[in-house]
Structure 1
Amino acid sequence: MEQLAFLMHLKKGNEAEYRRRHDEIWPELSAALHDAGIRDYSIFLDEETGNLFAVLRLTPDNTREVLPGLPVMRRWWDYMADLMDVDSTNKPIERALKPVFHMD
């Protein structure tokens, strides 16, 4: 499986709410992510900077490129937009990270 990692940014003071919303992730969103081939998805917070570090694994036949077109994905982005740095469509601004080391 391919592994991806990226950074996002959480606005200060929203840590507890961000966690709460993810603890209550919508079943239909979780299903859409899984159907698109996303597995083992984790997000970590650097409390000093507000940076969110996300890492996930993709199945070889993943269809993650369809996610932005799904109504449930757009609703989630709208729901989370007040907590994070987002673009004009409310999609979280992501910065891809380049892998430099891996150990099994």
Structure 2
Amino acid sequence: MIQKAFKMKLFEGKEEEYKKRHNEIWPDLVKELKSHGTSKYLIFYDKDTNILFSYIEMENEELWDEIAETDACKKWWAFMKDIMETNPDNSPISVELSNVFNLK
């Protein structure tokens, strides 16, 4: 299992809309995430900076990378682009974070 963490940024005042959309996440997107080896996906929000912190547990990097090529993921990115910072392909601008501590 691989653990991955990254941060993204919401536009000002979009926290509630972000929560709403994720509370209504599309079943086909959930299916793609799970079928591509994602076993845990948590997202936290810092209201002072509008930063989202995501933590994911997955089988491997290759499966994770394949999710970006699915129709469900591409449609989700397009759906979310109006409330967060995105790249030209609508994917969220994200910064991968390195693990500096792990209490076992």
**1:86-101 to 2 correspondences below 5 Å:** 86-101=86-101
Which segment drifts farther, 63-72 or 81-90?
63-72
Deviations 1:44-71 (A, max 9, x none): 0000000000001012486111112111
TM-score (normalizing by structure 2)? 0.95
**1:61-100 to 2 correspondences below 5 Å:** 63-100=63-100
RMSD value, Cα: 1.2
Hey, what's the Cα distance between the residues in 2 that align with 1:6 and 1:36? Answer: 18
Hey, what's the Cα distance between the residues in 2 that align with 1:86 and 1:60? Answer: 24
**1:1-104 to 2 correspondences below 5 Å:** 1-60=1-60, 63-104=63-104
Amino acid at match of 1:37: G
Which segment drifts farther, 54-63 or 77-86?
54-63
Amino acid at match of 2:33: L
SS at match of 1:8: strand
Which segment drifts farther, 56-65 or 73-82?
56-65
Q: Matched residues, percent identical? A: 36
TM-fit CA distance, 1:85: 0.3
Amino acid at match of 2:98: K
Counterpart contact for 1:45–1:51, Cα < 8 Å? yes
TM-fit CA distance, 1:28: 0.4
Counterpart contact for 2:10–2:83, Cα < 8 Å? yes
Amino acid at match of 1:14: K
Hey, what's the Cα distance between the residues in 2 that align with 1:86 and 1:61? Answer: 21
After superposing on structure 2, the runs of 4+ consecutive aligned residues of structure 1 that deviate more than 2 Å are: none
Number of residue equivalences: 104
SS at match of 2:68: helix
